[in-house]
Amino acid sequence: MKKLSLIAGVCMLFAACNSAPNEETETAKTTEEPMEDFKWTNEQFADLRILRFQIPGWEELDLRQKKLVYYLTQAGLSGRDITWDQFYRHNLEIRRALETIVKEYKGDKDSKDWENFMVYMKRVWFSNGIHHHYSNIKFKPGFDRTYLKGLLEETGASMSPEAFEVIFNDRDMKKVSKDPKEDLLLASAVNFYDPDITEQEAVDFYAEKIDKNDPRPISYGLNSKLVRAANGIEERKWTADGMYGKAITQIIYWLEKAKTVAENEQQAKALDLLIEYYRTGDLETWDAYNIAWVNDTAGDIDYINSFIEVYDDPLGYKATYETVVQIKDFDASRKMAVLSDNIKFFEDHSPIMDAHKKPDVKGVSYKMVSVAGEAGATTPATPIGVNLPNANWIRTEHGSKSVSLANIENAYEHARGEGFLEEFVFSTEELERAKKHGEVASKMHTALHEVVGHASGRLNPGIGTPKETLKNYASTLEEGRADLVALYYLMDPKLIELGLVESNEVGKAEYDSYIRNGMMLQLRRLQPGEVIEEDHMRNRQLVAAWAYEMGKEQNVIEKKVLDGKTYFVVNDYAALRTIFGRQLREIQRIKSEGDYAAGRDLVEKYGVQVDAGLHKEVLARAEKFNLAPYQGFIQPVLVPVTEGEEITDVRVEYPDNFTDQMLWFGEKYSFLSE
């Protein structure tokens, strides 16, 4: 999955907490403003900006499809607590106590301490826990122990001593650590392993299970927590009868209802296998589900649901819960399907070694979609492009699905601040190119990244999966590889021939943007003194900084300083494309051969460290625009209209208060809170 520098949507309805699900029509506070008056930007705090998005085309769906979307979003929301617990073992307890304070506190709400408390609360909501959603660093509250203790006493909220202290102390400072000089598990707070299990113990546990010569390996460890039990280390599976069982039972309930209104037999088959997987935890069933899901391409409604991405596991085994429910954007999907239709061309003409090319690229379906609902790790901060499944052998033998979340990108466009771009471009020519072609360039990059990038290349026979061979660098290198595929082909004449871009000016606009972002702009997401931890940020700086160094002798990318301001200017776009091709060839080799040392050296040399002086400059130049570097969304609400027991319609409403929505979720979907 791709999570770009633009970082949505959950639809919600009343579901009784910790009891049998129902379909009551009570909803959180909402608005139904006219679409032409839609307010895209809502509020800003800390380094976060809250936006809103629309669901275009909703009224074009028939009732069966609306029910399907509604049931799928309810299934997604039912597992919301799972992500919170996965991210940190104290998250749910802390959230429950803080939400009680927000609802029950009757004291001075004009004080600076209360203002700081609410900022902390909103940051915790945004990140699904007490660690930053992108940097992984634990938040520092702007209030002290005494103030929080007083709030707890006044409102009757409770918190264990350990959970209370961890808000203020220096324990568990990183949700996910990628530092190779530390024990990756002991240095990470994420709750996929018992706190005392070491990296070596976990690696040894799975090494005994994995057969590197198996051409179709299951995703070992994907859906379980590793715990220290009386008889040694063992897995606790996330199933209806196991860990997270109360939430998973609710997920299954709504998936069963979704199956009754499936658009076709293949979709129903996939849902049935997903339900069976949730019940049993069997990873062969997970593979069977993914194959059935990949082959479900005929419907207008699609979804992602379960334990999917492994970015939050420093060892790359265990997946975070997430869901996306989506509606096909018919016109845009027809226009972009040409990428899938020509996937063989891109693989055959790739600059990677012939031995690393797929001889036959299986179907890669591509759609542009409108998000109707998200839950878990995909919200409030959302991806804008997705390519699944992740298992390499399934992608090779059965293909994959790629989507671009068009209505999310549209919301970002509407909420873009004025003047920021002008601050960081060097020339009038560069600025005009960005304004004219930047939106198309960004969307083409996303499409190429997802459709071609993640679908390309193959592993050498007998080489283990990247999580085994490249370990904590696997995700960074994979995202870099997919980015490089996109960058290389953005300047290819084939895109003009296919009618996807009007000229190479589109590719030039993306080259400008990528170098500008990778070298400078993304640094505004970091605090002074921090290094880069997040995989996508690492991959962007790796590609940009490495390209800058590779082209230094020919001055391909030039660092210019004018009036005390730094710029990185592309002087030779053709030469830069060649450099991107060379980088792609090497990173594909690293992945195909499982060359851990080379991958580690690339990431550590180019992707991690920050130029302190440049960082300070970027922060100062960006500050005047008062635009938070991270963005997320308030979610739409799906409201069933009923006659007796029968749903006769489902309407969409748009909440306009982030706090109200978070409290609503906490009340109605907290199946693991007790």
pLDDT score, position 364: 78
Looking at per-residue confidence, does 30 or 414 come out higher?
A: 414
pLDDT for 36 equals 65
Q: What is the mean pLDDT of residues 112-139?
A: 97
Q: Of 604, 590, 619, which Cα lies nearest the Cα of 545? A: 604
Distance CA 348, CA 366 (A): 19
Question: Cis omega before residue 56 (within 30°)?
Answer: no
- What does the pLDDT read at residue 30? 41
66 pLDDT higher than 50: yes
Instruction: Identify the CA nearest to 342 among candidates 363, 359, 358.
Output: 363
The reply to whether 583 falls in a domain is: yes
pLDDT for the residue numbered 191: 98
Q: Average model confidence (pLDDT) for the chain?
A: 92
The predicted model gives 296-307 an average pLDDT of 96
Q: Residue 48 — φ and ψ, nearest 5°?
A: -125, 145
Residues 6+ apart with CB under 8 A from 386: 1, 2, 304, 324, 401, 402, 403, 405, 450
Q: Is residue 24 part of a domain?
A: no
Q: What is the mean pLDDT of residues 312-326?
A: 97
Q: What percent of the chain has pLDDT over 70?
A: 94
Separation of alpha carbons 258 and 647, rounded Å: 13
pLDDT at residue 33, as a whole number:
45
State the total domains in the chain.
1
- In this predicted structure, which of 19-23, 80-84, 233-237, 547-551 has the lowest mean pLDDT? 19-23
Distance (Å, rounded) from C-alpha 306 to C-alpha 285?
13
Q: Report if residue 321 sits inside a domain.
A: no
Say how far apart CA 198 and CA 200 lie, in whole Å: 5
In a domain? residue 133: no
Task: Give the CA distances from residue 272 to residues 255, 269, 285, in Å, rounded to whole numbers and listed in that order.
Answer: 8, 5, 10
φ, ψ (nearest 5 deg) of residue 306: 140, -155
Segment 60-87 shows an average pLDDT of: 98
pLDDT over threshold 90, residue 225: yes
- Whether residue 381 is predicted with pLDDT greater than 70 in this model: the reply is yes
For position 262, what pLDDT does the model report? 98
In a domain, 370, yes or no: no
pLDDT of 3 over the 50 cut = no
SS (H, E, C) 91-156: HHHHHHHHHHHHHHCCCCCCCHHHHHHHHHHHHHHHHCCCECCCCCEECCCCCCHHHHHHHHHHHC
Mean pLDDT of 255-271: 98
Condensed to tens digits (0 to 9), the pLDDT of residues 4-42 reads 333 222 232 223 233 333 333 334 444 444 466 899 999
Dist. CA 279–CA 244, nearest whole Å: 11
pLDDT (mean) for 244-255: 98
CA–CA distance, 446 with 2 (Å, rounded to integer): 8
Q: Please compute the mean of the pLDDT values over residues 290-308 and round it to a whole number.
A: 96
408, pLDDT greater than 80: yes
Q: Phi/psi at 29 (nearest 5 deg)?
A: -60, 125
For residue 652, the Cα-to-chain-centroid distance in whole angstroms is: 24
- Smallest CA-to-CA distance from 115 within 83, 141, 137 is with 141
Domain boundaries, position 588: 418-624
- Region 239-245: mean pLDDT is 98
Task: Report CA torsion sign: 79, 82, 87, 89.
Answer: positive
Does a structural domain hold residue 472?
Answer: yes
| Two tokens, residue 307 | 């334990």
Three-class HEC string of 497-523: HCCCCCCCHHHHHHHHHHHHHHHCHHH
Q: What is the pLDDT of residue 17?
A: 31
pLDDT in tens, 337-380: 888 899 999 999 999 999 999 998 876 788 889 999 999 999 99
Task: List strand residue ranges (DSSP E) for 483-598, in order.
Answer: 557-562, 565-570
Q: Could you report the per-residue pLDDT of 429-448, keeping only the tens digit for each?
A: 999 999 999 989 998 998 89
Helix (H, G, I), strand (E, B) or coil at 85: helix
- Residue 495 covered by a domain: yes
658, burial (CB in 10 Å: exposed 0-12, middle 13-18, buried 19+): buried
Q: Look at residue 434 and tell me if it is in a domain.
A: yes
Residue percentage of the chain with pLDDT more than 90: 84
In angstroms, the CA 198 to CA 614 distance is 37
Q: Assess contact for 668 and 661: CB atoms under 8 A.
A: no
pLDDT value at residue 19: 31
Query: Which of 325-334, 443-452, 459-468, 596-605 shows the highest mean pLDDT?
Result: 596-605
In contact, 219 and 309? CB cutoff 8 Å:
no
CA–CA separation, 164 and 178 (whole Å):
27
Rounded to whole angstroms, how far apart are CA atoms 41 and 633?
Answer: 9
H or E element that contains 197: none
Confidence of residue 674 (pLDDT cuts 50, 70, 90): low
- Confidence label for 259 from pLDDT (cuts 50, 70 and 90): very high
